[in-house]
Structure 1
Amino acid sequence: MNSDNFSPTKANRAQIKYCDEHECPVFAPMNGVCYRCGYNIYLRTNGKSGPRGITVEEAGSRLITSCPHCGYSFVE
């Protein structure tokens, strides 16, 4: 698995596919942009605690419920 595979379009599709296969709602913003901080959740940024962002592989393997950049919950 390539840990640096960041692609907003592919990651969004992977998250939708994951949610369809697991019969759960898509909580992540459809355009990938966090409602609070304005960063794209599917792009890598360097934060104080290291790199952040959701890879294509990660988007296809788990339910995304919050922003990796600011921690804002998409569920509440």
Structure 2
Amino acid sequence: MSEFNTVASIKAQSEYCKREGAPHFAPMSGICWNCRSNIYEKRQWKFEMGRKIPASKEEATMTTGIPLDEATNHLVTGCPHCNRSYCD
């Protein structure tokens, strides 16, 4: 199972960008400026009438968020919760 750790993920994404010479698109605070959610936190969703709404662990059919291993090894270019691009 993937670990969700905001502080470690912010640091890991910054280090990844430096190591790869990539631009740092992700918000430095981890908070999406579009939906105000922390991109490095796990959020669970379900669908009702074609719309994505927050759900309990038992009801969830979808999970979003950027785990530590993804922040360490991949460039973050958008919000996993609202799908807002940070590089357009």
Task: Settle same-fold status: TM greater than 0.5.
Answer: yes
Larger radius of gyration: 2
- Write the deviation string for residues 33-71 of structure 1: whole angstroms up to 9, x where unpaired: 001000000000012350100011110010000000000
- Write the deviation string for residues 19-44 of structure 1: whole angstroms up to 9, x where unpaired: 11100111000000001000000000
Match for 2:78 among 42, 57, 66? 66
Q: Match of 2:39?
A: 41
Q: Match of 1:54?
A: 66
Structure 2: tracts of 5 or more residues without a match: 47-60
Task: Give the strand-richer structure, 1 or 2.
Answer: 2
**Structure-1 separation of matches of 2:63 and 2:83:** 14
| Equivalences, count | 74
**Structure-2 separation of matches of 1:26 and 1:8:** 16
Structure 1: tracts of 5 or more residues without a match: none
- TM-score (normalizing by structure 2): 0.80
- Superposed CA RMSD in Å reads 1.0
Q: Which runs of 4+ in 1 moved over 6 A?
A: none
Q: Match of 1:29?
A: 27
